[in-house]
Amino acid sequence: MRKKIVAGNWKMNNNKEETAQLIAALKAKGSFAGVEVKVAPTSIHLVQAVDALIDSAIEVIGQNMHQATNGAYTGEISASMLQSIGVNSVILGHSERRAYFNETDEALAEKVATAVKHDMEVVFCFGEELADRQNEQHFKVVEEQLSKALFSLPNTAWGKIVLAYEPVWAIGTGETASPEQAQEMHAFIRGLVAQQYDASVAENVAILYGGSVKSANAQEIFSKPDVDGGLIGGAALNADDFFAIVQSI
């Protein structure tokens, strides 16, 4: 049976004290059965978060990582730096990284390859923009994003890949894909993976949905057979809301 995952992407939110408070509030919620829970604080709070969550089932993951092993890349973070502080999973390809930091499919392919080489888990984000959906190009766009960044990976790498379908028009907008739209796209994605690899790889890859998931809509979205959890932005900044979403799975 494939994994169920709920991950909180905290983006560029929370100072040191607020990070400590959110972690303490999450820890107070107790354990989470049958679901992997992950949180992605901003990079300067990763050490603090790993330390605070050392005795908890909540995993700390990175929001981004550079493709090079090391070198003159001011402001960047490498895979081995993340691993050296106990972070073994990283979000790559978020639409905000693509839109505001010019991350291309080609650069993302390199980042994914570097993460895989370091035996890190990758939560790979992708999804169409509003105009793509309006022009009925959404399947094509998603296929291209996956194909360019992931489909050169060997079968064996897929044990470390988590897919996160995040339609750009649903991120931070309050507008969610309907459960049916999410299921339709997730089934399409699983079909692509089956076509490119095999049925077993496709069956085992977790596909998360992201984009305005709240406690009020999580259950309906998560009830769809090809939706294996969520990547949560705004609602992950509040422990009660995030916990309610985790419990919806």
Residue numbers at the binding site for ligand 13P (CB under 6 A): 9, 94, 166, 171-172, 210-213, 231-235
Work out how close the CB of 168 gets to ligand 13P at its nearest, in angstroms, rounded to a whole number: 9
Catalytic annotation present for 175? no
Asked if 118 and 159 count as a contact pair (C-beta separation under 8 A), the reply is no
**Of the two residues 149 and 171, which places its CB atom closer to ligand 13P in the complex?**
171
Work out how close the CB of 138 gets to ligand 13P at its nearest, in angstroms, rounded to a whole number: 17
Catalytic pick among 36, 59, 103, 166: 166
CB neighbour list of residue 227: distance below 8 Å, 6 or more residues apart? 179, 182, 183, 186, 207, 208, 209, 221
Q: What CA–CA distances, in Å, run from 194 to 27, 74, 82? A: 38, 39, 31
Work out how close the CB of 41 gets to ligand 13P at its nearest, in angstroms, rounded to a whole number: 13
Q: What CA–CA distances, in Å, run from 53 to 32, 77, 103, 229, 236? A: 14, 21, 30, 21, 16
**Of the two residues 2 and 11, which places its CB atom closer to ligand 13P in the complex?**
11
**Of the two residues 109 and 235, which places its CB atom closer to ligand 13P in the complex?**
235
Straight-line distance from the first to the last Cα atom of the chain, in angstroms, rounded to the nearest whole number = 15
Catalytic annotation present for 94? yes
Torsion of CA 109, 112, 116, 122, to 10 degrees: -150
Work out how close the CB of 234 gets to ligand 13P at its nearest, in angstroms, rounded to a whole number: 3
**Of the two residues 6 and 116, which places its CB atom closer to ligand 13P in the complex?**
6
Catalytic pick among 94, 96, 103, 128: 94
Q: Return d(Cα 117, Cα 133) in angstroms, integer.
A: 34
Closest residue to ligand 13P in the complex (CB): 233
Phi-psi region of 181 (alpha: psi -120 to 50; beta: other; left: phi over 0): alpha
Which residue numbers are catalytic?
94, 166
